[in-house]
Amino acid sequence: MRISSAASALPRNYYPQAVLVEAFRKYWGLKLDRFGVLERLHSATQVDGRYLALPLEAYPLSSWGEANNAWIEASMDLGQKAICRAMQQAGISAGDIGAFFFVSVTGISSPSIDARLINKMGLNRNMKRIPIFGLGCVAGAAGIARAADYVRAFPREAALLLSVELCSLTIQQDDLSVANLISSGLFADGAAAVVVAGDELEGADGPQIVATKSVFYPDTEYVMGWDISEKGFRIVLSRDVPDVVLRNLGRDVDGFLAEHGLNRSDIESWVLHTGGPKVLEATEAALELPRGALDISWECLRRTGNLSSASVLFVLEKVMDTRRPAKDTWGMLAAMGPGFCSELVLLRW
């Protein structure tokens, strides 16, 4: 089974970070006593600019319902673009897709976005649909792993993964917590689609998925997630996230690799979720990575911010398009997210 393609789609509304900071000055107004704190927090994210689902003047939205309706509309548009690009790159038809995995943590709908896109795009009516909500940042890697599980059982088929995250539609105007101030400078909007092909599907190209591993960390629900109320999604983002990474990631990666007779020195390419500067620094330290090993993750963070589940798929797309590793070398794709948990994918290029 192989990753045949990875393709992204971004909204047309792009704003440099300085423009967004000034917008938040007006957004919070007198509610924010010390505006310099917000400026410092946004600067610390090391994000140059971000794409938003809506034009800047459309924010703030009047209610959670309005925000969720905007999420549905933008998800349909970006999702279709990402899927079309991924299918074209993979050289497959709609009839080849046996399963459709949809992941998001920034909006909800029933029927889910995958069902709406089957109607809009005329996709295979016999596809198994697997919408997944709640995994957050880890869902891009987890979606690839679950797609691999599917095509292992059905090797003549392909599985489609779509991630759409529209973080700008979740920001709470009455939440002046440090967590919300940081997230307002870090998270952004985008979509990505991946095609995972079974071993018996002709024409499949891309890295082989050799194995996957899920690791759950008990009693860490407080680290990351949402508190959900009548106003929508309120960010939960603990300062402990980098510490959780430091304590667990190196050990878990080493254990996973050992199961396959490998160690960290065998891995020549790393496809890791962008997180934020502190998370990336903690990842580099936990894995004792050489300088430059996560350059693409840092580049994606600067260019688009943190796109939650879509981030690791943006990094994967960049690696496949511009810095594809040498044939037969080992790679690792990984992300961490609410639970708290990690998802590891061993690749052979």
Q: Report residue 52's pLDDT band, with 50, 70 and 90 as the boundaries.
A: very high
Rounded to whole angstroms, the Cα distance separating 337 from 241 reads 9
Same domain, 242 and 184: no
Residue 157's identity, in one-letter code, is: E
Same domain, 168 and 21: yes
Helix (H, G, I), strand (E, B) or coil at 306: strand
Q: Would you say residue 256 lies in a domain?
A: yes
Say which of 84, 137, 300, 341 is annotated catalytic.
137
- Count of domains for the chain: 2
Same domain, 10 and 100: yes
Supply the CATH number for residue 155's domain: 3.40.47.10
Same domain, 51 and 161: yes
Rounded to whole angstroms, the Cα distance separating 121 from 193 reads 15
Rg over CA atoms, the chain: 19
- Listed in order, strand segments (DSSP E) in the chain are 2-9, 13-16, 49-52, 97-104, 128-133, 158-166, 189-197, 208-216, 224-229, 232-237, 267-272, 330-337, 341-348
Q: Would you say residue 131 lies in a domain?
A: yes
pLDDT tens string 130-158: 999 999 999 999 999 999 999 999 999 99
Same domain, 30 and 163: yes
Q: Report residue 204's pLDDT band, with 50, 70 and 90 as the boundaries.
A: low
Q: Would you say residue 120 lies in a domain?
A: yes
The answer to whether 341 is a known catalytic residue is: no
Same domain, 192 and 275: no
Map tokens 């539609």 to a residue. 169
Q: Are 143 and 163 in contact (CB under 8 A)?
A: yes
Same domain, 152 and 223: no
Same domain, 108 and 228: no
Q: Would you say residue 203 lies in a domain?
A: no
Residue that terminates a domain, selected from 197, 232, 255: 197
Rounded to whole angstroms, the Cα distance separating 278 from 44 reads 9
User: Is residue 45 pLDDT above 70, yes or no?
Assistant: yes
Q: Would you say residue 202 lies in a domain?
A: no
Same domain, 284 and 328: yes
Same domain, 152 and 32: yes
Same domain, 147 and 284: no
Residue 166's identity, in one-letter code, is: L
Q: Would you say residue 144 lies in a domain?
A: yes
Map tokens 């307002």 to a residue. 184
Q: Which domain holds residue 32?
A: 2-197
Note the pTM of the prediction, 2 decimals: 0.94
Map tokens 């330290």 to a residue. 285
Q: Would you say residue 223 lies in a domain?
A: yes
Average confidence (pLDDT) over 240-244: 92
What integer pLDDT is reported at residue 327 of this predicted model?
Answer: 94
Same domain, 99 and 124: yes
Angle, CA of 238, 244 and 247, to the nearest 5°: 155
User: Is residue 163 pLDDT above 80, yes or no?
Assistant: yes
Residue that terminates a domain, selected from 144, 175, 197: 197
